[in-house]
Amino acid sequence: MDATGFRRLWDQIAATGRADSGGYLRFSWSAADLALREWFDAQAAERGLRVESDRNGNRYAHWDAGTGPGVLTGSHFDSVPHGGAYDGPLGIVSAFLAVDELRASGFAPQRPIVIGAFTEEEGGRFGVPCLGSRLMAGVVDPDRARALTDPDGTTLAEAMRAAGADPDALGPDPERLASFAAFVELHVEQGRALEAPVGVASAIWPHGRWRMTFTGAGDHAGTTRIPDRRDPMLTFAFAVLAARKEARLAGGLATVGRVEAVPNATNAIASQVTAWLDSRAPDEAVLAEILSGFTAKVKDRAGRDGTGFTIAPESETPIVEFDPGLRDRIAALLGGAPVLPTGAGHDAGVLAAHVPTAMLFVRNPTGVSHAPGEGASDEDCAAGVDALAAVLRDLAC
């Protein structure tokens, strides 16, 4: 399709949930989210697609055809606070356009094609990413989900009821999962790793978050001589730089973005610094290598600083390898499209444990993600629609 055709549909949702920052506030079950769901229903109606919600608030538009399990595509509407326009909605808009392309070419699917819109993928309102797909997969307890609160103290159950949905229905949905023969999620790339218009995901990198505690001796910043100090801020500072260095040498990522000092006073040597390490890598061996190299170097430094250092995991997510057969088939179909991993989580990563799953990425020239600067050219988005249509044709014939 051409860039103009993409832009025409894309512009229909451009104003929905847009903030003065230029970013989006599209929190699940908010007014903006309900407006996007209405738009979804209208798009389905225009195309004669049957609309249905599942028990977890995920919404589907069915192109009923043939027999047996269907081919699922789509993504999510919700955003992080002041997030970009593309992360999520691009996969849904592209799905409707791909259906249009298939129909215009006279294609008659031999199995259902289903467009899905997952709920609370970002965790931007209730704090648990991929909540809709995780509930479906049975890896989040429904009682816990119902009690999750947003920053205003509203529970998910209250927000769902206010939107006319039924929180008592939340729970595992193996029948829904079994109704899909494959899932293909199209998504904007979130870094600058993709240099072609469209790529195919190989895997979601393994990911860990660790809590680090640096302890020392709180003391007077004006009277404690340097040799008498045991300042945990120094060990923390070393750790920030060591994390970057270990990740760079090993070919992974490591970030320290959160820090809390005690007593956090200008004229006091800190008695304790707590900070969090986020690290991701192409495989679990590299992730382990980063962590062990990092830990050894920081322990050594703590010994020299006279401080204490402990590190404990808060979450460790193993690698998600997308279905290799599906991945290779799609890459070949797209004329040898680049195959690349991602460091971000997706509903596709959750469903991959249950359904043969693939992801298509559309190039992001800025590499910005979760911020207004996120982008993709209309030409690349149109190429994404063409690629998705080709994949759906291949899987549904």
Collapse the DSSP code of 292 into the 3-class scheme (helix H, G, I; strand E, B; otherwise coil) and give the result: helix
The CB-of-370 to its own copies minimum distance in angstroms stands at 5
- The region of 20-28, 217-225, 287-295, 385-393 touching its own copies under the rule CB under 8 A is 217-225
The secondary structure of residue 263, as a DSSP letter, is: S
Task: Work out whether 270 is an interface residue with its own copies (CB under 8 A).
Answer: yes
- For residue 329, say whether it is annotated as part of any ligand binding site: no
Select the residue interacting with its own copies from 93, 369, 384, 390 (CB under 8 A). 369
Task: Work out whether 233 is an interface residue with its own copies (CB under 8 A).
Answer: yes
Nearest to 14 by CA among 44, 40, 37, 36: 36
The CB-of-157 to its own copies minimum distance in angstroms stands at 26
The CB-of-138 to its own copies minimum distance in angstroms stands at 24
Q: In sequence order, which residues have a C-beta less than 8 Å from that of residue 38 and are 6 or more positions away?
A: none
Gap between the Cα atoms of 151 and 338, Å rounded:
40
Gap between the Cα atoms of 188 and 107, Å rounded:
26
Task: Work out whether 16 is an interface residue with its own copies (CB under 8 A).
Answer: no
- For residue 76, say whether it is annotated as part of any ligand binding site: yes
The CB-of-234 to its own copies minimum distance in angstroms stands at 6
Beta bridge partners of 208: 279, 316
Task: Work out whether 386 is an interface residue with its own copies (CB under 8 A).
Answer: no
Asked whether 201 and 340 are in contact (CB, 8 A), the reply is: yes
- For residue 267, say whether it is annotated as part of any ligand binding site: yes
Q: Nearest 5°: phi and psi at 260?
A: -140, 125
The CB-of-374 to its own copies minimum distance in angstroms stands at 10
Token pair belonging to 125:
């309102």
Ordered alpha helix ranges (H), the chain: 3-10, 31-46, 89-104, 131-137, 142-147, 156-162, 174-178, 232-250, 284-305, 324-333, 347-351, 378-396
Select the residue interacting with its own copies from 36, 71, 253, 330 (CB under 8 A). 253
Task: Work out whether 228 is an interface residue with its own copies (CB under 8 A).
Answer: yes
Q: Which is nearer to its own copies, 3 or 19 (CB)?
A: 19
Nearest to 94 by CA among 287, 341, 376: 376
Task: Work out whether 206 is an interface residue with its own copies (CB under 8 A).
Answer: no
- The region of 27-35, 49-57, 173-181, 251-259 touching its own copies under the rule CB under 8 A is 251-259
- # chain residues binding its own copies, by CB under 8 A: 59
The secondary structure of residue 205, as a DSSP letter, is: P
Q: Which is nearer to its own copies, 140 or 270 (CB)?
A: 270
Task: Work out whether 300 is an interface residue with its own copies (CB under 8 A).
Answer: no
Tell me, what amino acid is at 146? R
- For residue 187, say whether it is annotated as part of any ligand binding site: yes
Select the residue interacting with its own copies from 264, 296, 300, 313 (CB under 8 A). 264
Site string for its own copies, 45-84 (x = CB under 8 A): ----------------------------------------
- For residue 122, say whether it is annotated as part of any ligand binding site: yes
Q: How far is CA 26 from CA 13, 23, 30, 80, 163, in A?
A: 11, 10, 7, 8, 14
Collapse the DSSP code of 81 into the 3-class scheme (helix H, G, I; strand E, B; otherwise coil) and give the result: coil
Taken in order 350, 353, 355, 358, is the CA torsion positive or negative?
positive
Select the residue interacting with its own copies from 92, 342, 383, 395 (CB under 8 A). 342
Gap between the Cα atoms of 77 and 121, Å rounded:
8
Token pair belonging to 71:
């081919």
- For residue 363, say whether it is annotated as part of any ligand binding site: no
Q: Which is nearer to its own copies, 100 or 278 (CB)?
A: 278
Question: Where does this chain bind its own copies (CB under 8 A)?
Answer: 189-193, 205, 207, 209, 217-226, 228, 231, 233-234, 236-241, 244, 247-248, 253, 255-259, 261, 263-270, 276, 278, 280, 314, 342-345, 367-371
- Binding-site residue numbers are 76, 87, 122, 187, 209, 267, 280, 370
